[in-house]
Amino acid sequence: MRVLIVDDNASMRDLLTALLSSQGYEVVGALEDGNGVIDAIRTLAPEIVCLDYLLPGRDGLDILSEINSLFPQIDVLFISASEAPGLETKAADAGAAGFLRKPFGQKQVIDELQQVRETRRRASPENQPEAAVNSPAPQPVAEKASKTPGRQPTAVIADDNSSIRLLLKGLLTELGLQVVGQAANGEEAIRAATNYQPTVLFLDVNMPILGGLEALPRIVAASPKTSVVMVTGDTSRTIVQQAAGLGARGYVVKPIRPAYVEKFLKQLFNA
């Protein structure tokens, strides 16, 4: 896979370049500041970007958001030495496919990138057929999901991040659900729930115009048979309890991992 490294520390760039190259990745570029990242992506066409948080020129979170907006098919591994509270949650909500906190070991990098690759493969199996052949097939969860025999269960995805919507759509389709609608804010999610009455609705907590927690009771009222699943990078007790009190059936944690989504849906539909 083609990888672009963005880090202002020369030693870190060299370390990542050597490590990833030894693991079979093709490092197509290594940048020391944030100003040229978008242009470099257009020129070098990476599949993964290893992106540092604190960069000269541009903030890493700002770059992450732009990458996910312009290139939702690209996975970003977010890297930081910062101890700023809530940074990992912010990166996850902005669409980071993985997160590493400095200092880290070589195995951590390899394992996290493998998780990112596996997630992308599961979400887009048609793009990597050779990987799909060598990997165990997922067990469909759709058989028990629909209350009507023979009817394919349906899903709506509500998240303001296009990369996460793309990822979830691929995973849910692979697991046997039909994605009938998508939304980028809470108001759109309410309309989609009203129009489609889906079996399940994945609802991001932090969205513009109307957030997930604010939209949740209106979604439950508009489509009472829909199982609403919160999608969040924040797993604090307050958020979880508030969502449950408003009618959510559970939550999926960002960065999204296929095995977790599959296990959660099996538990949901067997309940």
- Based on the domain organization, do 164 and 120 belong to the same domain? no
Categorize the per-residue pLDDT at 208 as very low, low, confident or very high, splitting at 50, 70 and 90.
Answer: very high
Q: How many domains does the chain have?
A: 2
Give the range among 13-17, 86-90, 143-147, 254-258 with minimum mean pLDDT: 143-147
- Based on the domain organization, do 118 and 8 belong to the same domain? yes
Output DSSP code: residue 30. E
Q: What is the mean pLDDT of the chain?
A: 90
pTM for the structure as a whole: 0.82
Give the range among 3-7, 51-55, 216-220, 257-261 with minimum mean pLDDT: 257-261
- Based on the domain organization, do 10 and 125 belong to the same domain? yes
Final residue before a domain boundary, out of 89, 115, 133: 133
Which CATH number belongs to the domain containing residue 6 in this structure? 3.40.50.2300
- Based on the domain organization, do 33 and 121 belong to the same domain? yes
| pLDDT for residue 87 is more than 50 | yes
Give every CB contact of residue 107 below 8 A, 6+ residues apart in sequence.
Answer: none
- Based on the domain organization, do 73 and 179 belong to the same domain? no
- Based on the domain organization, do 76 and 38 belong to the same domain? yes
Categorize the per-residue pLDDT at 146 as very low, low, confident or very high, splitting at 50, 70 and 90.
Answer: low
Give the range among 60-74, 126-140, 239-253 with minimum mean pLDDT: 126-140
Final residue before a domain boundary, out of 89, 114, 133: 133
Instruction: Quote the domain boundaries for residue 170.
Output: 142-270
- Give CA–CA dist 129/42, Å, rounded: 25
- Based on the domain organization, do 192 and 149 belong to the same domain? yes
- Based on the domain organization, do 261 and 241 belong to the same domain? yes
